Structure 1
Amino acid sequence: MAMRSEILRKEVLPFAAMIVVVCMEMATSTIAKAALNSGLSPLIYIVYYNFLGVLFLLPGFIIQRHRRHPLPLTLYMLSRCLILGLLGTCVAVFGNQGLNYSSPTLSAGISNLIPAFTFVLTMVFRMKKFEVKRRTWQAKSVGTIVSIIGAFVMTLYQGPTILGSSSILLPQKSLLSDEYSSRWVVGGVMSVAAYLFLSVWNILQTAILKNFPEQSTVVFFGTGFTSIQCAIVSALVERKLDAWKLQPGIGMAAIVASAVLESLCNQNINAFCLDMKGPLYVAMFKPLGIVIAAILNLLFLADALHLGSIIGSIIVIVGFYMVMWGMWREAIIIVEPLDIVRQSGDANETSPLLQK
């Protein structure tokens, strides 16, 4: 019974949690895209939903800090949360600007670059060794290159419309096709930048949680610093007071939904899974987002599904699973010798013939 509950906690619970996270991420992107199409400024949207998210996170932070023997809030921990907030600001600004210029389907497809970015970053920071002769290293390297090629295909090649029509999103597309294509490319580049910062954010948050395992506190300070930094950036860019006024409608609904789904739910669930399984496990579920995003966009936004997005998504997913195969094989190579040693130790303890 104890073993079954342990498997449920360590395997089934994170798996189900990440499925929920991906669904909520795609729902948030779809609602945000509808709000941005209505004229809401991406920067103002980021500020409002982050500040509202901080208010939602406050009760959890207070409850955790009033438990017995809470960990001390050191300057070192707060400084790391400040950096985490800065990375979150870059993710939010680039991600929402990219979403504004392109579509949730393109953003979801490019998000599959996260495991490739994570692999490259571990090499750059010497967290992993260059082992060119090993098959697992070769698979991860080739998979990384394939994923990057797929992202370039999605960004630079739009292609003919396969499903849906983008006329609702951009009525002037037929008249300004060059401008539309350039916006698509800019949106893709911004999404790539956002997911590069997100890869670093995942690695840093995992490191923080190892030294400071209070998820609600880390999420609260990370979101709080992101809110302050986004407000500063937005105040410098959006200087018209009329742009900051919210009217009842899709914009306000998107802000509330993003605060609940993204800041409150996703951030805490993400922290839980990062702490338990690590950043690569979290990245494994990104390909699911393409399917969900495409369905939601066709149903609610009348967004077009282009041939370039389909081809690029397939290429990215192939590269993604090459990287995952390499990591899976490495895990088996590491675990098998440990199992042999453990079994040998058990045999020495239980067999009377081996005892002196």
Structure 2
Amino acid sequence: MAMEKFKPLLLMILVQICYTFLYFITEASFSHGMNPHVYVTYRNIVGGLVMLPFAYFLERKKRPKLTMALLLEFFVLSLMGVSLTLNMYFVSLTFTSPTFIASMLNTIAALTFVLAVILRLEIVNVEDPRGIAKIIGTLVSLAGVMIMTLYKGAILKNLWHPIIYIHQGNNVVKEDWVKGSILTVASCITWAIWYIMQAYTLKRYPAQLSLTTWMSFVGAAQSAFYTVIVQHKRAAWTIGFNIDFWSTIYGGIVISGLVGYIQLWCTEQKGPVFVTMFNPLSTILVALLAYFVFGEKLYMGR
């Protein structure tokens, strides 16, 4: 009984650990020359292929009958949470840094909380300590993000040489914090909407494995359509057996597959706000790894 009670908590901690490694392996891949749009496409194809057999056999009797309304929901969910959001998100990573991206993701919890309250998915009782804690936590989270974004402060000196350099490569993209910040904020907004939409879709389609598979394949198709338009070079679609390959495999199997399923399960069990409230954990882990292991510059304001 105790394990069942803490199962969603432990799973979401695991999710944040998985996301922490994602920031660094993808940044290393992009620095190596991997196109972010191609990465999103390949990653979701891998995720869909991995989840397909599990969804087909384990949810054969659980899957509701598909309707045009459900297919339309899958299309919009894939757009908001996979193709559109991830393309903006990973392009912003090439212009900024993992620490900045991880900190900005804390706004998703606040945005999701506000939307959930408006749509009555979350009840806030200002006379209850839990309700007050939710409000204070949201305000503190937003204040922290604003400080990290607007105030840089003095640089912290590294105490030793970094263990791993992730910015090595022939095609390192020059930083553009304005463009990167706009794309990050836009992706956070669409991500928050996506979490809310999932809660509604799961009520009509309570098959998390199948929904994860649908979103992976539909999102991959949407991303491929966009990528073909903006990326005309065939060489961009070719990846070798290097960091590009491993980042795609990790993103597909662990993030699009395992993490996607866990988040859907936790959303159905605890609601969308519960899922997003764990994002600050990833911020701390990313900042520590970025500073101590990868040698990223860390400023007092961050």
Q: CA deviation at 1:16?
A: 0.9
Distance of 2:203 and 2:290 partners within structure 1: 38
Task: Show the 5 A alignment for 1:49-68.
Answer: 49-66=43-60, 68=61
Are 1:8 and 2:3 matched, yes or no? yes
The 8 Å contact of residues 27 and 296 in structure 1, kept in 2 or not, is answered as: no
Cα shift readout 1:200-256 (whole Å, capped 9, x = no counterpart)? 111111211122211111111112111111111111111111222112211111111
Q: CA deviation at 1:131?
A: 8.8
CA change 1:292–1:64 in 2 (3 A) is same
Question: 108-117 or 289-298, which moves further after superposition?
Answer: 289-298
CA change 1:52–1:129 in 2 (3 A) is closer
Q: CA deviation at 1:23?
A: 0.2
Q: CA deviation at 1:97?
A: 1.3
Distance of 1:254 and 1:63 partners within structure 2: 28
Pair member with larger Rg: 1
The 8 Å contact of residues 155 and 189 in structure 1, kept in 2 or not, is answered as: no
Aligned equivalent of 1:47 = 41
Cα shift readout 1:69-113 (whole Å, capped 9, x = no counterpart)? 642122222211111001022220121112111111111111111
Aligned equivalent of 1:284 = 277
If each structure's helix is expressed as a fraction of its own residues, which one has the higher value? Answer: 1
Task: Show the 5 A alignment for 1:198-213.
Answer: 198-213=191-206
Are 1:110 and 2:109 matched, yes or no? no
Q: Secondary structure at the match of 2:153?
A: coil
Aligned equivalent of 2:171 = none
Q: CA deviation at 1:151?
A: 2.3
The 8 Å contact of residues 63 and 205 in structure 2, kept in 1 or not, is answered as: no
Are 1:86 and 2:95 matched, yes or no? no
- Among candidates 167, 170, 189, match of residue 196 of structure 1: 189
Percent sequence identity is 28
Distance of 1:108 and 1:12 partners within structure 2: 25
Aligned equivalent of 2:250 = 257
TM superposition score normalised by structure 1: 0.74
Distance of 2:146 and 2:106 partners within structure 1: 12
TM superposition score normalised by structure 2: 0.86
The 8 Å contact of residues 30 and 296 in structure 1, kept in 2 or not, is answered as: no
Aligned equivalent of 1:321 = none
Distance of 2:247 and 2:86 partners within structure 1: 15
Distance of 1:25 and 1:209 partners within structure 2: 23
Q: Which amino acid aligns with 1:219?
A: T
Distance of 2:45 and 2:134 partners within structure 1: 39
CA change 1:140–1:185 in 2 (3 A) is farther
Two-structure CA RMSD over aligned residues (Å): 2.8
When the two structures are aligned, how many residues end up with a matched partner?
293
Cα shift readout 1:150-192 (whole Å, capped 9, x = no counterpart)? 32332233333215489x6669xxxxxxx74xx1343233222
Q: CA deviation at 1:269?
A: 0.8
Question: 298-307 or 107-116, which moves further after superposition?
Answer: 298-307
Q: Which amino acid aligns with 1:12?
A: F
Q: CA deviation at 1:133?
A: 9.6
Structure 1 stretches lacking a partner, 5+ long: 172-178, 310-356
Aligned equivalent of 1:318 = none
The 8 Å contact of residues 169 and 303 in structure 1, kept in 2 or not, is answered as: no
Of the two structures, which has the highest relative contact order with CA contacts closer than 8 Å and spacing of 6 or more? 2
Distance of 2:124 and 2:273 partners within structure 1: 18
Aligned equivalent of 2:237 = 244
Distance of 2:221 and 2:103 partners within structure 1: 30
Structure 2 stretches lacking a partner, 5+ long: 169-173
Distance of 1:69 and 1:28 partners within structure 2: 32
CA change 1:24–1:139 in 2 (3 A) is closer
Q: Which amino acid aligns with 1:59?
A: P
- Among candidates 22, 27, 32, match of residue 21 of structure 2: 27
Are 1:230 and 2:223 matched, yes or no? yes
CA change 1:126–1:17 in 2 (3 A) is closer
Distance of 1:248 and 1:48 partners within structure 2: 14
Q: Secondary structure at the match of 2:105?
A: helix
Q: Which amino acid aligns with 2:73?
A: R
